[in-house]
Amino acid sequence: MIKYDPERKTVFGPSDLKLNGSPSKCLLIFDDEIWEELILPNQELETFPVTNAFGRVFDTYRYIKINGEKILLVYPTMGSAGCVCDTELLIASGIKQIVAFGTCGRLNKHIAQNAIILPTSAYREEGTSYHYIPASDEINVDKDALAVCRDVFKKNNFTTIEGKIWTTDAVYRETHGKVALMKERGCVGVEMELSALLALAQYRKIKFTEFLIGDDPVDGNAVEPIKRRNKDIFDTAIEILNNI
């Protein structure tokens, strides 16, 4: 197992990307459909390359201006280690508030495809979080941010489901026994990043929350899918970001 070391001094740390306009708020958009449908075609969004200290160029950054304030939009690396590395750079560059969203597998056949899921905690079956906080089976979400999500989605006429999320590194090792175990523990969805991002946010002391869009039917389907409201989901994410 990973040995947690509480020492904060490291061999090297994340570099400042020197983001234009010094934004403090960011959306991490893990969802391909929303990124490709709403972000990439939008010619009004400011696009720019970002280069880190090692010469890596990021072309997945956009700005949107809301009430005169620039908000950063990022298409992050998938998986716990990659997305935490990306987010470390953002935090080192002045980002203090983050809302993330993407899809997850549905662990309950009565949860409709495209339902909005609000995580209450995440089971830690990835390796990255154990470098940021001591070992535990699960990690709780920010309760104040969860309340904001609940209120904003209700205001925008979404029906939401709340429950625990299973975060795993090994998408192709979701065995039937493991799925049954996580369902017994109260998990309603499975994905690859949440527990690591929660640990990072706790360690770096930033405001962070995430919601998920139910997608793959890990437990099968028993109800009709809900129509996806991509523009409304994006606008709701911005509203949550401005209120956490």
Question: pLDDT averaged over the chain?
Answer: 94
Query: pLDDT tier at 21 (50, 70, 90 boundaries)?
Result: confident
- pLDDT at residue 134 above 90? yes
Residue 81, H or E segment:
helix 80-92
Neighbouring C-beta atoms of residue 175, cutoff 10 Å: 10
Higher pLDDT, 58 or 14: 14
Helices (H) and strands (E) in the chain, counts: 6, 12
Higher pLDDT, 206 or 12: 206
Q: What distance in Å separates the CA atoms of residue 123 and residue 141, rounded to the nearest whole number?
A: 11
pLDDT tens-digit profile of 30-66? 999 999 999 999 988 888 777 776 777 777 899 999 9
Q: Are 139 and 129 in contact (CB under 8 A)?
A: yes
Nearby residues of 40 by Cβ (< 8 Å), 6 or more positions away: none
Tell me, what's the pLDDT at 46? 84
Tell me, what's the pLDDT at 136? 96
Q: Are 115 and 162 in contact (CB under 8 A)?
A: no
Q: Kindly give the pairing relationship between strand 207-217 and strand 116-125.
A: antiparallel
Tell me, what's the pLDDT at 50? 77
Q: Kindly give the pairing relationship between strand 50-51 and strand 116-125.
A: unpaired
Higher pLDDT, 46 or 7: 7
The predicted model gives 152-177 an average pLDDT of 96
Q: What distance in Å separates the CA atoms of residue 195 and residue 54, rounded to the nearest whole number?
A: 27
Q: What distance in Å separates the CA atoms of residue 48 and residue 43, rounded to the nearest whole number?
A: 12
- For residue 217, the cross-strand partners are 106
Neighbouring C-beta atoms of residue 51, cutoff 10 Å: 12
CA proximity to 192, closest of 114, 145, 91, 122: 122
Query: pLDDT tier at 178 (50, 70, 90 boundaries)?
Result: very high
